[in-house]
Amino acid sequence: MTTLLRMLLMFLVPILLSHVSAYTACPKCGSTEVPYPLSTDGSCGNSLYRVYCNNGVLEFLSGGGFYYKILSINPSAYKFVISPPPIKKDTCYSSDFASEGLKLDESLPFNVSTHNTVMLLNCTNNLLRSPLNCTSSSFCRLYEEKVEEASGCRNTLCCHYLKDSAMTSHMIRVRDGGCSAYTSVVDLKLGAPLESWNYGIELHFRVLLYTLQTVRKVDNGVASEKLTPERVENSKELCTAPATPENTLIAEDAVSPRKGEAAPLATPSAKGERFSFAL
Ligand SMILES: *[C@@H]1O[C@H](CO)[C@@H](O)[C@H](O)[C@H]1NC(C)=O
Ligand SMILES: *[C@@H]1O[C@H](CO)[C@@H](O)[C@H](O)[C@H]1NC(C)=O
Ligand SMILES: *[C@@H]1O[C@H](CO)[C@@H](O)[C@H](O)[C@H]1NC(C)=O
């Protein structure tokens, strides 16, 4: 990031926070904090980052329609960790097998991060043709042997892999003809004792990007002109609106200070200089 952009961000973020009252965190779910931008209902958070509070338990709903418990959230790193689905008792089937494992809705801003070591259990020999580690020293062996939940998977083929950036970042797949169960460990280090494994699937929120074109002068609540970055630093009357489904809401509530008038529209773009929006 250039110095200019950084200065721009420093200037914009406080303005956004003070103008945009929609940037409020949701109330706790049970004893769990729900930090912005996660949203448990339309009145708080950012509705793109929808999560669910079911009987005091904060959960994430996958594209496949399965609820995963949220174990921890690190909003400043744009990450949270969900619980791997339980393996059904005395079987080797993950409880999300019906939806073929974890599938993220690609239209939503969540990805599987590159910190997950995934262990696939009860796999068919097809997996031996994959680059996965299906050797007798694979982490999955230790897991099956020592963890009661996975005991139904013993004496079958299992494999592990690090979910890296070369792989699709929106699913962990189980299915007939592949593997029937899985678990995942975050930041697994070679040689770390089993007791220290941090079971979970780390997801991260995609950060929305906007071009500098989104920075416009707001005059009587109406976007008038685009500003150069230099002018931005000198202006006191600036606001931007992100191109989200909430655009209208944010505009009514906060960006447009005078009711009934148009608010600035944002144009997300894949090109040009970009900065990440304050999420
Ligand atoms: C392992 O997966 C196969 C399908 O690939 C299934 O028929 C079998 O029941 C599974 N084993 C266990 C113990 O669940
Ligand atoms: C498989 O994983 C184990 C444990 O992580 C490692 O020691 C071994 O070198 C790996 N084997 C291959 C072929 O990658
Ligand atoms: C998230 O996943 C999508 C689709 O797989 C990919 O294009 C995108 O670069 C990923 N974003 C991040 C921040 O990793």
pLDDT in tens, the chain (279 residues): 455 555 555 444 444 443 343 468 899 999 999 998 899 998 898 888 899 999 999 999 999 999 999 999 998 788 999 999 999 999 999 999 999 999 999 888 899 999 999 999 999 999 898 889 999 999 999 999 999 999 999 999 999 999 887 777 889 999 999 999 999 999 999 889 999 999 999 998 865 433 333 444 454 444 455 544 444 433 333 333 443 333 322 222 223 223 333 333 433 333 222 222 222
Task: Tell which one of 169, 202, 208 to mutate to probe ligand 3, the residue whose CB is within 8 A of the most ligand atoms.
Answer: 169
Position 159: which residue type?
C
What's the pLDDT at 106? 87
What residues are paired with 173 via a beta bridge?
Answer: 101
Would you say 80 and 74 are in contact if contact means Cβ atoms under 8 Å apart? Answer: yes
Q: What pLDDT score does 36 carry?
A: 84
Is 94 close to ligand 1, i.e. is its CB under 6 Å away? Answer: no
Q: What is the pLDDT of residue 223?
A: 47
Cα 66 to averaged position of ligand 3 atoms, centre (Å): 21
AA letter at 57:
V
Domain limits of the chain?
A: 3-22+209-276, 81-187
Tokens of 166: 């070369």
Q: Are 152 and 162 in contact (CB under 8 A)?
A: no
Residue 2's pLDDT is what?
Answer: 55
- Selection from 36, 49, 150, 43 nearest residue 90 by Cα: 150
197: tokens are 């494994």
Output the six-digit token pair for 3: 């110095």
Determine the residue of 135, 187, 189 to mutate for testing ligand 2's pocket, defined as the one with the most ligand atoms within 8 A of the Cβ atom: 135
Cβ–ligand 1 distance for 124 under 6 Å, the answer yes
Ligand 3 atom 14: residue of nearest CA: 111
CB-based contact 219:240 (threshold 8 Å): no
pLDDT value at position 24? 82
110-112/201-205 β-pairing: antiparallel
